[in-house]
A and B are shown apart, each in its own frame.
Chain A
Amino acid sequence: MQINFMKPRKIASVLSIILILISIFSLAFRGLNAGLDFTGGTLIEIRLSEPTNLEDMREVLGSKMDEDFQVSYFGSEQDVIIKIPGGSENNLSNEIISSLNEVFTFDLRRKDFIGPQIGEELRDQGGLGILAAMLVMMVYIMFRFQFKFAIGALLALVHDVLIVLGFFSIFYIGFNLTVLAAVLAVIGYSLNDTIVVSDRIRENYRKKRKSDNVDVINRSLNQMLGRTLITSLTTLLVLFALLVLGGDFIQNFAIALICGVIVGTYSSIYVLCNNLIFMNLNFEDLAIKKSETYDDGMP
């Protein structure tokens, strides 16, 4: 059975564009729920010996300090997180802990202070990292495949990253350094898919010189369908394990990757191939050049 993947390609283009626009819109106006890593500030996580009303805790904290703060549960009614954005005096956390100690009994789980300049630098570095990753990929694909594939792959990556970021913005899920690492891993994963599909398209073009490019792409996608689905499935299985058992720290990391695997699988079919058709990929683009040495494939 052959599925005509390329038939609904116009609908897919419209869908992708709408999703990207929504993401950009949300990122521009709502922004990301940037974690302490990027904003700077103080975070204290405690485990109380018994469930405690947050109001009581707010009262105690409010009477002791002037700074703005947020208190919230973290997993259960015994786990509480206190966040104080900004601030430069890092003795604050010790003062908070000692004033809480007067009223509640608890176990200090985690305490972080991140200076505002660090947050700013991490933001810049993160953006730079995403750009660098995309650029390196483009050069690699240009070298290994061909310019049109590089453009297609780049668009697929931009598409994936924007939609994952948009997802985090729309649902306002906490975005920290670990999630950023996941977004970069999405780039790697999505590219993996893109390369596998490109590889097959190239192979099929070289086999049959005179065929319609929509036809070649369709055939390639059908051949790779089993593999694409199974790999996505195994990856989703382990991500599911991380999501369920990985605890709060890893949860958002898993969400980013799950989102990225789904979008990445979709984009290697529609974004990449749509662009190849749009740019009218043809046999000449993929002719084996004389200088190219051929690997016999023996490991």
Chain B
Amino acid sequence: MLRFQPWKIITILVVITIGITYALPNLYPPSPAVQISIDSIEGKIPNKVVEKISQQVADTGLSSYAFKFSDNNEGFDSIVFPTDNYQDQLRLKEFLDGTLDPEFVVALNLASNTPQWLWNIGASPMKLGLDLRGGVHFLMEVDSDLLISTRLESYLADIKRKLREERISISRSEISDKKIFFTTRTEASEELDDYFKSNIDLEYSKQGSNQYLVKYNEQGLSDLIDYAVSQNLETLRNRVNELGISEPVVVRQGKNRISVQLPGVQDTAEAKKMIGKTANLEFRLEAESNSLSSRTDLFDFSGQRIRLLKQVITTGDKVADASVGYDENGFPQVNISLDGEGGTKMHRSTRNNVGRKMAVIFVERKIKTSNNGDEIESYFDKRVISFATIQSALANQFRITGLDSPNAASELAFLLRAGALAAPMNFVEEGTVGPSLGADNIRVGVQSLMLGLFLVLVFMIFYYKVFGLIANIAVALNIVLISAVMSILSATLTLPGIAGIVLTIGMAVDANVLIFSRIKEELKNRLKPLDAINAGYDRAYITIVDANLTTLLVALILYIIGTGPVKGFAITLSVGILTSMFTAILVTRSLVWLIYRNRKNIDSLWI
């Protein structure tokens, strides 16, 4: 008599049904598509324009229909044109980039082909990694040296102000090696004690008579970087969303890094320019003739030298929205709305200064390499982009004119909208995978999966006959379950991930080999066939669990320490181990039960 609880078959059937349903969307891979949206949060593409663009696209023959999104009376948020392949997609994007006005954003995207009923239950295909799909990835690191010295500068200014209030003047001060050194003319310990009581991020020490040293303490330093990274993460997400790419990934990696993945993007230079730009704006008033020179900066603007106050009215991160427009004369301009705080500051500074000039300064972080080529230094490049007379008190809404070109205007609007980076960042890693390599990788991945599968299936049937067939059903089911679990977890499939699945196929039959060889052994020990089956499953069980658990532990370690390719491999390996335990033990046992349950006296097994 075979021992088996028939209710387990119901469990198995439920799991298989769910597995097949959620694996199904992978048979309908999404089409490469081009998406058009308009360069403003509020903007809608008018119905007439949509029709015109659709006609133009249809004429190229690259895409025959369009998906339109979020219809309302005024128009659509975006239109998506699916194409047959990645080459057509790039051609269509090129065509649209050439024909459409700069206020339209043309981006590469994917159009889902998943049938509606699957979509409704939340089933969607596995995401493909950059190595299979093509695209760009960046790893960016917060430039903590520059961040710290910038912050210390503002602290130094604050300390000076505080001491001035107490009538203590500083004779000498410098910032070097992430520390502030300063010397006061008179004893200032008491005042400084008082000041640093409220600044818990910093610590100060007395170095000699009236000489002091200020630096970040450990907690303050890690808080500073932590804050900067989480702020930058937010900003980068905004910027990436502005680019209109489907399924971008922007995640924090480690303590001070952010990883950005842009599937489908080919032009690294362009993507880097938009994402990595640490641009900001400063709004400043023109200096008056009696302003102290220590409180002003000199700038060049269209061939003349202008003097501006060092004091900044407000900065670009207070911008709530920005869009491109044209003035009466057809020159490009950027319409800016400030948030509440920025608007208040702007109003306070401009209401008493009507008739005075205000400058908009474009601040960009640049890197220069020193002469010997080893040391890289970063610095802020500040450029006046607009210098105009304040016509009336400004508030939340105003505009910047005097821009070079429509492109400059739309770039500036983009950067203002997407926000400024809280701390400058460096690119420490970047990679591009071309679409042809991606397609090749999918092909070799699928081919080696098929060949591996074929070899194992043939071998198992040849060696274990009926039982081999049962094991093969389990292996096939295992692949379905791996795809289902990967799809449900919305995990990303990479080429090393496919290698992990292939390896799982080879190793998953191990459980069945253990069981079957045990059954053979028990048959040799003169056990009756059905008893031998029972004994084989029972005794091999502990071994299988032990062996699989250890492999799972290794896979988990791989996942924790690994990045990129290693992680992809670890995911499919762990998922494969778990699903294979289910299929190799439970599924095969129920199949064996179904085959042999009604046979009372069998003399031999086909094994």
Interface residues of A (CB under 8 A from B): 45, 47, 88-90, 94, 107-115, 117-118, 122, 125-126, 128-129, 132-133, 136-137, 140-141, 144, 177-178, 180-181, 184-185, 187-189, 191-192, 195-196, 199-200, 203, 223-224, 226-227, 230-231, 233-242, 244-247, 249-250, 253-254, 257, 295-299
Contacts and interface: CB of A to CB of B under 8 A. Distances in A.
Given A94-B268, A132-B557, A227-B517, A140 B550 contact: yes
A177 B496 CA distance: 10
20 contacts: A90-B427, A107-B436, A110-B431, A113-B430, A125-B563, A126-B561, A129-B561, A137-B550, A177-B563, A177-B566, A184-B566, A188-B553, A192-B550, A231-B509, A234-B459, A237-B455, A237-B459, A238-B453, A244-B448, A249-B441
B456 interface: yes
A242 to B, nearest CB: 5
A109 B432 CA distance: 8
B523 to A, nearest CB: 13
Contact of B517 (A109, A141, A226): A226
A113 B427 contact: yes
B558 A238 contact: no
A125 to B, nearest CB: 5
Interface string B447-464: 111011101100110010
A195 B547 contact: yes
A234 B468 CA distance: 13
Given A108-B434, A240-B452, A250-B448, 4 more contacts: A196-B514, A230-B463, A240-B455, A299-B537
B139 interface: yes
B558 A181 contact: yes
Interface string B485-528: 00000000001100100110111011001100100110000000
Given A180-B566, A249-B495, A230 B503 contact: no
Nearest to B556: A136
B554 A185 contact: yes
A242 B502 contact: yes
Interface residues of B, number: 78
A297 B430 CA distance: 51
Nearest to A153: B550
Interface in B524-550: 537-539, 541-543, 546-550
B538 A181 contact: no
B448 A299 contact: no
A109 B463 contact: no
Given A136-B553, A199-B542, A235-B506, A118 B434 contact: no
B508 to A, nearest CB: 9
A141 B553 CA distance: 12
Contact of A187 (B3, B509, B554, B573): B554
> Main SS of chain A's interface residues?
helix
B452 A241 contact: yes
A115 B554 contact: no
B550 A195 contact: yes
B557 A129 contact: yes
Nearest to B511: A231
- 3 smallest A-B Cβ distances: which pairs? A238-B452, A188-B554, A238-B506
B35 to A, nearest CB: 23
A140 B531 CA distance: 32
A230 B444 contact: no
A269 B444 CA distance: 35
Contacts of B131: 249
A253 B499 contact: yes
Contacts of B554: 133, 136-137, 184-185, 187-188, 191
B570 interface: yes
Contacts of B539: 203, 297
B541 A297 contact: yes
B447 A192 contact: no
A145 to B, nearest CB: 9
Contact of B550 (A45, A191, A227, A249): A191
B441 A234 contact: no
Contacts of A188: 550-551, 553-555, 573
A181 B494 CA distance: 14
B432 A246 contact: no
A111 B431 contact: yes
A177 B564 CA distance: 9
Contacts of B503: 185, 235, 238-239, 242, 257
A200 B440 CA distance: 45
Nearest to A88: B376
A267 to B, nearest CB: 15
A196 B539 CA distance: 12
A250 B521 contact: no
Given A192-B547, A235-B506, A299-B585, A184 B557 contact: yes
B561 A117 contact: no
Interface centre among B426, B428, B506 (most CB of A within 10 A): B506
A137 B553 contact: yes
B181 interface: no
Nearest to B585: A299
Given A94-B269, A137-B550, A245-B448, A112 B566 contact: no
A299 B589 contact: yes
A236 B426 CA distance: 44
Given A133-B557, A177-B566, A231-B509, A246 B550 contact: no
A245 B444 contact: yes
